[in-house]
Structure 1
Amino acid sequence: MCQAVSVSTLPILVLAVHKFGEGIDIKTAVDIRHQILAGGGEMHSNCETVLLDNRTQQQDVWGASWNPISQEIFYESMVNLRPRQNRAMEILDPAIREQVKQIIHKLLGGL
């Protein structure tokens, strides 16, 4: 189940953790405008839906996976495929990648 996260909801946050080989990744969708994220869905699109249902605009949502052990972020998701904005599964714009990174580390870093 995917949950929306902001600074005020962190104390009650429970994220689903998915194992891939030896790694542990949490799927997230990040709203770079409102600096919130939804995390813990089976797929990034589950998290994207949570944000879109809460008045987030599609152009502000980016998918990434986060490893809570290494704190590493993987910027690949089907959510990121956009013919006019991003022509790959990976977030190509360095400025958007940095925003996603900062929001994930701010809200999830240290968990």
Structure 2
Amino acid sequence: MVLIIRERATLEQVGQMMQTLKIYIKVAVDIERGILAGGGEKHAFCEAALLEDGSRQRDIWGADWTPFNQSIAYESIINIRPSQNNRSMLIQDPAIQERVQQITQELIGGYEPEIR
């Protein structure tokens, strides 16, 4: 289930986003709007939800959030963007990584939901 999170998520919402992959959440973060979409099998599903909501593709970056240890991995196919000087699945710009981490932590960080 992909949810768009605009303000601090509830524990229930985090649990819903974890239903597909159980131990982590795929997220796409709009670094300009300060929102994210999370859940589902692929970052592309999250990206599509944000695009449909009015985000610009150039502002959306993919990552994986693991609630159990509050860690983030900045790797996703949607991050491959030669036109934005990102030629890797890994977000290469430290400032973008920091913004993705900040938004993710603010919106869905701090929870340790039960595995369902």
Same fold (TM over 0.5): yes
**Runs of 4+ residues deviating >3 angstroms:** none
Q: Which amino acid aligns with 2:73?
A: F
Partners of 1:16 and 1:61 in 2: CA distance = 20
Q: Secondary structure at the match of 2:61?
A: strand
Greater strand fraction, Structure 1 or Structure 2? 1
> In structure 2, what is the equivalent of residue 4 of structure 1?
4
> In structure 2, what is the equivalent of residue 94 of structure 1?
94
> In structure 1, what is the equivalent of residue 46 of structure 2?
47
1:78-106, Cα deviation, whole Å (9 max, x unpaired): 01001111110000000000000000000
1:48-74, Cα deviation, whole Å (9 max, x unpaired): 000000010000000000000000000
Root-mean-square deviation (CA), in Å?
A: 1.3
Do the aligned partners of 2:28 and 2:36 also contact (CA within 8 Å) in 1? yes
Shift of 1:25: 1.4
Structure 2 residues not aligned, in runs of 5+: 112-116
Number of aligned pairs?
Answer: 106
Do the aligned partners of 2:18 and 2:24 also contact (CA within 8 Å) in 1? no
Structure 1 residues not aligned, in runs of 5+: none
- Give the structure-2-normalised TM-score: 0.86
- Give the structure-1-normalised TM-score: 0.90
